[in-house]
Amino acid sequence: MWKESKLKWLITGSIFIGIFEFLSLAGIHLPKPLALPFFLTFTLLFGYKTIWHGLQALLALNFKSINFLMLIAIAGAFYLGEYPEGTIVIILFTLAEELEDLGIAKSQSALDSLINKMPRTVLVKGEINAVDVANIAIGTTILIKPGQMIPLDGIVKDGLSFVDESAITGEPIAQDKRPGDSIFAGSLNRQGFLEVEVTKTASESTIEKIREMTFNATQNKAKTQKFIEVFSQYYTPFVILLALFWTLFTWLVLKRPFDQGFADALALLVIACPCALVISTPISIFSAIGNASSSGALIKGGRYLEAIGQIKAMAIDKTRTLTIGEPVVTDVIPFDGHSKELLLSCAAGIEKLSEHPLAQSIVNAAMKENLTPHSVENFESIIGKGAKADCLVCDDKHHCIGKLEFILEEHHVPHPFIDQIDSYQNQGKTVIAVSTHKSLEGIIALEDEIRPNSAQFIADLKSLGIHTVMLTGDHLNVAKSIAKKVGIEAIKADLLPQDKSQAVKELLHDYGIVAMFGDGVNDAPALALSNVGISMSSLGSDTAIEAASIVILNGRLKVIPFLIQLSRKTLTTIKTNIAFALAIKTIFIILALLSLSNLALAIFADVGVTLLVILNSLRLMNFKIEG
């Protein structure tokens, strides 16, 4: 509220003093005895902080300070009797700083606004009065009403609802939530009444981690921003020395009046103020990071935003990036007259008792076909091979299920069946065989389900000129099968985590700037080694959030090409801002040195450039992907 009020006062003050400035340019002046106290009052009222900081810089001999430069400009204007110019320069400088702060605040406003809207209290099951969110312990059951924002991370214990997670993930479609599903602070309960068991305290919630990392992103400055900051430290004292030299040169060498050379030097000081240069990068970076956040991507700093737009190659892990990471049944092939339904029902009955990762996939396939898993007894799991059990439905009770090698230990399998199994394995599929005492009943083929948009994702990367390489710990035939379907030519398979790191090193050597896209857990060494580590994270995965420099929170692969284009647009915007600011400043510096400019023109040119730079940078908040 105070910020808005201060901004209104500054705008009002600028208009008010601007009237006197235009009257002054027209030759209409206040009487000198009245003008000095009148303009001095407004100068101190609006610019006391800048003047005070300028005096501190003078005492500390800190000639790199912009405030010191402004102090010289104000004092010089009043010395020359150009009171309206001295007042307007401080008001417009303060206004520009305020707009700079407003621009940065606006670029961070989406996440900040969400944090401010978070509930401070919540209903706890068994309690009459609402409890402060900060006092809720892990394991507490909280009650979420329809239309209420969810204050803490947790697991649904009871109730059905649709939950809007767009504020965190950027996913516009509300998600169906049932008992056992995870929900996250900052999302909105659209429909039903939910009982939720809290899994994280308020300070450790997903939204709090995102907020913390987003605001800490200002510490990881882009190279461009660091360069501009260093440049301005030398640029400001150079301009002061140039102004001093020009004043003395025109007075002592060219024999012009001291006041004329001093007035030209003041105009030079004002137009050369590096405000527009200094602000050109951070506002662009903050705006782009804010845009990325609303699109479901967490970028941990400006240097990562800058780097992703410059990558020449991307190493991509297969599992949980190009694929969903959950195997699905693709083929059920019965042998010797058995039916597909019988084979799948019997296999599901045995696998229902197994803890093997593929077991649930077979059970899910049976349920999807509305088949009832057979009842079994005498279940025995053989680790690394398969399982045995007696089926209570089939005529031939004894069954074995597992790898072909396991079946061959007890049963003969005809070569045509083995060739068929090899054929599926060559396609990159995992094959499970089912047999009885008498014969091989059939085989079930599974593969990791490819994300629907993986092929488009690879095509988008190629269109952006980025070389793609698949890195996977899976077997080569599996990798080839997936790579062929999504459009990747370069493959490296059977890799351990250290092998992936070595592969990234080779890409860095060949391409210079490289991104690694992995799941954030076993890919951590390769993620850390690359210029940009990108993780496809399920919400709430602390490991993934910590491991990567960019985290995709919504599972949408198309966010990555968007980030690359956003980064390139950001870099272009920064370069445009800098080039535009330097061009205008160069022109007016030359005009000032030729006595063709004055303090008033310099003031409006400087403020105008700063405003245009801010507005141009804020456009990045609304940047959308092409096509």
Distance of CA 166 to the CA centre of its chain: 14
Q: For 578-595, what is the mean pLDDT?
A: 84
Task: In whole angstroms, give the CA distance from residue 148 to residue 249.
Answer: 71
Q: How is residue 616 annotated by DSSP?
A: H
| Structure confidence at residue 371 (pLDDT) | 93
β-pairing, 467-471 vs 313-317, is parallel
What gap in Å lies between CA 545 and CA 87, rounded to an integer? 50
Q: Are strands 154-158 and 194-198 parallel, antiparallel or unpaired?
A: antiparallel
Q: pLDDT confidence of 173, banded at 50, 70, 90?
A: low
Task: Give the residues across from 470 on adjacent strands.
Answer: 316, 491
Domains of the chain by residue range: 120-214, 297-323+450-565, 325-449
Kindly report the CATH number that applies to the domain delimited by 297-323+450-565.
3.40.50.1000
- Mean pLDDT of the region 259-269: 80
Question: How far apart, in whole angstroms, are the C-alpha atoms of residue 493 and residue 479?
Answer: 6
Cα 620 to its chain centre, rounded Å, is 14
At 344, the pLDDT band (50, 70, 90 cuts) reads very high
Q: Do domains 120-214 and 325-449 have the same CATH topology?
A: no
- 499 catalytically annotated: no
CB under 8 A, 24+ apart: contacts of 476-481: 477/425, 477/426, 477/427, 477/428, 478/428, 478/429, 478/447, 478/448, 479/318, 479/428, 480/428, 481/427, 481/428, 481/429, 481/447
Instruction: Establish how many alpha carbons lie within 13 A of residue 318's alpha carbon, considering only the half-sphere containing its beta carbon.
Output: 32
- Residue range 325-449 forms a domain whose CATH class is alpha beta
Which tens digits make up the pLDDT trace of 461-492? Answer: 999 999 999 998 877 888 888 899 999 999 99
Among candidate residues 317, 448, 460, 606, the one labeled active-site is 317
Mean pLDDT of 40-47: 84
- Could you tell me if 580 and 619 are in contact, meaning their C-beta atoms sit under 8 angstroms apart? no
At residue 608, what are phi and psi to the nearest 5 degrees?
-60, -45
The pLDDT tens digits of the residues spanning 511-563 come to: 999 999 987 556 778 888 889 989 876 544 555 566 678 888 777 899 999 99
User: Taking Cα atoms as reference points, which of 165, 193, 200 lies closest to residue 179?
Assistant: 193
DSSP type of residue 212: H
Average of pLDDT values for 114-137? Answer: 83
Indicate the CATH number of 120-214 among 2.70.150.10, 3.40.50.150, 1.10.10.10, 3.30.559.10: 2.70.150.10
* Rounded Cα–Cα distance for residues 88 and 600 (Å): 8
* H or E element in which residue 503 lies: helix 497-511
- How many C-alpha atoms does 416 have within 13 Å on its Cβ side? 4
Closest residue by Cα to residue 278 from 229, 233, 240, 238: 229
Rounded Cα–Cα distance for residues 218 and 214 (Å): 8
Query: Is the separation of the CB atoms in 333 and 532 below 8 Å?
Result: no
